[in-house]
Amino acid sequence: MAKVSDNKIPSLVDHLFRHQAGQMIATLVRVFGPRHIDLAEEVVQDALLKALQLWAYKGIPDNPSAWLIQVAKNRALDLLRREASLQEKSEELVRAFAAQETLANQRSESLSNNATLDDTLALVFMACHPSLSRESRVALTLKTVGGFGTSEIARAFLTKEPTVAQRLVRAKRLIRDEGISFDLPSSREMSARLDSVLEVLYLMFNEGYAAHSGENLVRADLCDEAIRLGWLIVQHPATRLPKSNALLSLMLFQAARLSARVGEGGELNLLAEQNRSLWDRRLIALGFHYLERSAAGEEFSEYHLQAAIASCHAAAASYELTNWEQIVRLYDLLVALNPSPVIALNRAVAIAKHRGAEAGLREVEKIIAHPALQQYYLLPATLGELWQELGEADKAADNFHQALRCPCSEPERRFLQRKLATVTNQS
């Protein structure tokens, strides 16, 4: 196994501006207070535009972070002089930015135990506060911590820009009205508050993962960002709970398969068809690293089980050599912990692999009428696969037709059409 460094999370693209924006906003929100997120955003945007004007001509300086921080600080001081209610904050601001600048100068990759990490995590907890709706939490986290634009969030979630903008306005208003604080939760509250954060990361990652395709890079960015935040969370002793490590491990295992998931023609490749030599070994090694860490302590979460299942796939040399027995066992535990029909469906697939298509069909039949699955294309798609395996081409075709009537992404649609073509040729 490759040696794992805990200091740095691999990223596909260098999102310097997004990450820097998030860090600066975190520092500014701490100084201005959560009531003034808009002000913080304005300062950061000004600093970035200033960089745009100069760096387009003169190139990116050796230490872009320190430069941006300096510009943001000057801009913020201007604003503080203007805003009577904030005038006393200038000393605090100078101190806060000095700390960030030191960090930028050191170009330290290890963030633990410093004010910047504290600020960033406090911003994450604020944006993921349980009193905000799930959609708002995701949008606000991407906007403030992740440095995503409203338009990018809208594209990533296939929603309209005004809808996202409205969510952000409402979320900020709620933060103001409820007086939501800008701190790391106390150890008593930590586990519950962390759940709300991990849920956001999980949603963010899945949204990016489910629709990952070459023509939709913004959504791949969601995976990147979820992993980056997951990694930040395990850097801090207060948030480094076993479930944080488990979720990070899960996301790393899944991300390792991203490039094998979409074929050259943009088609979706399921696990069975994936070229495993395309899997990112570095990410898999990191996945095992954090899975091991997640085993510390008593806590046992859904993320643990999902990460363990993902690790079975990552460890298998081929689809045929997958340890389905172990996967079925893990799904049994997972269904007991969370009786979601989607998990039950995945369990049925594992059972089909382990005990045969008929056993799988019997499991699917138990959940076939579940209201939550009626528009879920993977239900008929799974049935189609199983009937095909049993040589029932007509029944398989019916199910693939039905799957195509459910909402799904373009690569998923092409995948279903490909499946349909194979059974139509058989009959």
Residues engaged in binding other proteins (CB under 8 A): 15-18, 20-21, 45, 48-49, 51-60, 147-152, 161, 221
Measured from the CB atom, the residue of 55 and 319 that comes closer to other proteins is: 55
In the complex, what is the shortest distance from the CB of residue 65 to other proteins, in angstroms, rounded to a whole number?
Answer: 13
Output the DSSP codes for 60-98.
--S-HHHHHHHHHHHHHHHHHHH-GGGGGGHHHHHHHHH
Q: Are 164 and 150 in contact (CB under 8 A)?
A: yes
Closest approach, Cβ 221 to other proteins, in A, equals 8
Distances (CA, A) of 66 to 9, 11, 37, 119, 359: 21, 21, 22, 17, 61
Give residue 118's region: left, alpha or beta (phi > 0; psi -120 to 50). Answer: alpha
Nearest distance from C-beta of residue 152 to other proteins, angstroms: 6
* Residue among 18 and 36 whose Cβ is closer to other proteins: 18
Vertex 342: Cα angle to 339 and 347 (nearest 5): 80
Nearer to other proteins, 124 or 154 (CB): 154
Instruction: Please say which residue, 64 or 263, places its beta carbon nearer to other proteins.
Output: 64
* Residue 21 CB, nearest approach to other proteins (Å): 5
C-alpha of 301 from chain center? 17
Cα–Cα nearest to 194, from 111, 129, 123, 114: 129
Collapsing DSSP states into helix, strand and coil, what is residue 268? Answer: strand
Cβ contacts of residue 330 below 8 Å, gap of 6+? Answer: 305, 308, 309, 312
Residue with smaller CB distance to other proteins, 13 or 296: 13
CB of 147 to other proteins, least distance (A): 5
- Least spacing, CB of residue 19 vs other proteins, in Å: 9
Closer CB to other proteins, residue 45 or residue 102? 45
Q: What are the tokens at 193?
A: 């508050």
